[in-house]
Amino acid sequence: IKSSAALTIEEDGSLNIAKDFNNQGAVTLNSSSNEFASIIVGGTATGDITYNKFVNQLYYQGWDLVGSPVINQSISGFVTTNSSVLAANGSAYAVGYHDNTDDSWTNYTTSTVGGAGNFDIARGYQMATSSGATMAFTGSIATTDQTQSIINNNGNGNGGRRWNLVANPFPSYLNANTNAHASNNFLSVNASVIDSNFLSIYGWDADGSGYTIYNNTSSATYIAPGQAFFVAAASSSAANLSFTEAMQTTTGGDDFINLDPGNTSSEFYLKFKKAGAQEADTKFYFDYGLNPGLDPGYDAGAYNQTMALSSRLAEEDQGINMGINAMNIDSFEQTAIALVVNTEAGTTFRISMEDSTIPENVDVLLLDTQTQISTNLRGQDFILTP
């Protein structure tokens, strides 16, 4: 790109460069709430780009989880450049980080942002805008594999968590699971450093409802440029999570986009509701080659282990409440699965079966083991006032 020239890639566009990229002019990538421009450089990259990444409105959609899609963007420079749209409360800016040693969130302020340095590439941050808008990240394009250190601080005696907030460091989409790419995908590459009970991507829903789990039970899934998410570290010693060049793709649409791979699987959800409002759901997934015990990358522990509704593995239960329970197709014959309900006494709740793709001749029975009353969820909801 010549010094007098400008190139803009709109939110529905992409550019794949086989060799080197040299920008002496202005290169801008745009995004919207559900579309993100992509650029992939096969060789070296010289010169900065500006990525205008859409970030949610604080008071309508809530906080967004975001990472820098470029290298060497200073946090103070980012705050200054985006001051007209960045949400703020007094001296505090709506840009902050998570510390899993004590499960705390800290926002940058007018007194701390000057010494904040650059965004840590491949680390996730919480951000929000005042009206739902794009925020500009300016820096260079990563053209080598990137890593981010993660650690499991669960049980450290200080409220620590296993969860680490990480982000796609490239200005392109990434293959997330095996349905996106058989080997060059985030979950397969990082299987050794993510806890096998939680080998999934946990994406914030940005409406306060919680986290959606993406793993190999999901259709082909792609991580948008600069999209942040939580993963559960396997080890209490620091280990490197990898984002490789080979994961990059220009396929994608929304923050986390699912595209139907046409597979042979079946699934259904159990949904927990009170006063007509859904508080939680848990997924059951069936496919060939899976087991009633733990299948890493398919079974997934719930992000919140005290959520209103979850389940346990049918075999080899290790005390983990599951958000996704995956098993073989032959489990349709007869399989008993324990449910976990967390709710206060005296308030009526219901559990319904929804979004089912399992065969019509397979019944799903919910047994109340105290009363020995069984409810066929094919025909009616389970209702209880505990």
Identity of the amino acid at 334: Q
Contacts of 380 (CB under 8 A, 6+ apart): none
pTM: 0.92
List per-residue pLDDT tens for the chain, 386 residues long. 999 999 999 999 999 999 999 999 999 999 998 899 999 999 999 999 999 999 998 876 578 999 999 999 999 999 999 999 999 999 999 999 999 999 999 999 999 999 999 999 999 999 999 989 999 999 999 999 999 999 999 999 999 999 999 999 999 999 999 999 999 999 999 999 999 999 999 999 866 668 999 999 999 999 999 999 999 999 999 999 999 999 999 987 666 655 554 556 899 999 999 998 999 999 999 999 999 999 999 999 999 999 999 999 999 999 999 999 999 999 998 999 999 999 999 999 999 999 999 999 999 999 999 999 999 999 999 999 99
CA-closest candidate to residue 63, choices 143, 117, 126: 126
CA-CA distance, 291 to 76, in Å (whole number)? 50
Both tokens of residue 322? 């599951």
Q: Give me the residue label for tokens 């001296």.
A: 91
Q: Write the DSSP string, 39-104.
A: EEESS-EES-EEEEEEE-BTTTT--EEE--SSBS-BHHHHHHHTTTTB-EETTEEEEEEEETTTTE
pLDDT value, residue 261: 47
Cβ atoms 243, 335 nearer than 8 A: no
Q: Give me the residue label for tokens 């087991």.
A: 291
**Backbone φ and ψ of 188, nearest 5°:** -65, -45
H or E stretch including 232?
strand 228-232
Both tokens of residue 122? 């491949």
CA-CA distance, 67 to 115, in Å (whole number)? 19
Contacts of 157 (CB under 8 A, 6+ apart): none
* Sheet of 201-204, strands arranged across: 163-167, 228-232, 201-204, 211-214
Q: Write the DSSP string, 257-313.
A: EEE----S-EEEEEEEEETTEEEEEEEEEE-TT--SS--BTTBEE-SSTT-SEEE--
Vertex 108 angle, CA 62 and 66, to 5°: 45
Cβ atoms 120, 148 nearer than 8 A: yes
SS3 77: helix
**Backbone φ and ψ of 193, nearest 5°:** -110, -5
Query: HSE (CB half, 13 Å, CA atoms) of 96?
Result: 19
CA-CA distance, 3 to 223, in Å (whole number)? 32
CA-CA distance, 262 to 302, in Å (whole number)? 26
pLDDT value, residue 254: 61
Cβ atoms 337, 311 nearer than 8 A: yes
Contacts of 248 (CB under 8 A, 6+ apart): 40, 170, 172, 173, 174
Both tokens of residue 198? 């939680």
First to last CA, the chain: 67
SS3 7: strand
6-9 and 26-29 as β-strands: parallel, antiparallel, unpaired? parallel
H or E stretch including 93?
strand 92-99
| 159 torsion bin: left (phi>0), alpha (psi -120 to 50), beta (else) | left
Cβ atoms 121, 71 nearer than 8 A: yes
Both tokens of residue 325? 């329970």
| 275 torsion bin: left (phi>0), alpha (psi -120 to 50), beta (else) | left
